[in-house]
Amino acid sequence: MSWSWFRISSLVTRSALAKPATRLYPFEKRKPYAKTRGHIKFKINDCTFCTICATKCPTDAIVASKNDKTWAIDHSLCILCGNCVTDCREGCIKLSPQPWPPMLTKEVLTFRKDYGEPPPAIIMPR
């Protein structure tokens, strides 16, 4: 009886004095590991709209249009394979290590050459 009480009390004391096993997520964010795939970043000013990225995308998450000078990505379809990043001739597509924020609805982020950077998210049906 006394042996089990000693084991439990030592466990409780260690837990009370030690640093928490988890981090306080919204306030403490984990640094991404090396080669972490987070989300696709795009620079509209460097793009020539060659549409190679849209052709190489295996899930059709990227839609590029030469005529309209638009580039769109659906982050819910993107599997972060990196094909668009490696095949982009202009280097306007990068793979960020930070994860994309959680989505409540299906969002398609659309860039247009005329307007520069887009608003944070544009919801468009596909």
- 71 within a domain of the structure (yes/no): yes
**The amino acid at 44:** I
Taking the model in full, what pTM does it have?
Answer: 0.67
Residue 117, in any domain of the structure: no
Check: CB of residue 78 under 8 Å from CB of residue 61: yes
Domains in the chain: how many in total? 1
Q: For 6-63, what is each residue's pLDDT tens digit?
A: 788 888 888 888 887 788 877 888 888 888 888 899 988 889 999 999 999 999 999 9
Position 7 in a domain: no
- Which two tokens mark 1? 């009886």
Nearest to 93 by CA among 57, 36, 46, 35: 46
Q: Residue 46's domain spans which residues?
A: 32-112
Confidence of residue 120 (pLDDT cuts 50, 70, 90): very low
Which residues are registered as beta bridge partners of 97? none
Domain of residue 64, CATH code: 3.30.70.3270
Q: Is residue 95 part of a domain?
A: yes
64-86 pLDDT, tens digit per residue, is 999 888 999 998 899 999 999 99
Residue 41 located in a structural domain: yes
Give me the torsion for CA of 80, 81, 84, 89, rounded to 10°: 120
Residue 64 forms part of a structural domain: yes
Specify if 13 maps to a domain: no
Do the domain assignments include residue 80? yes
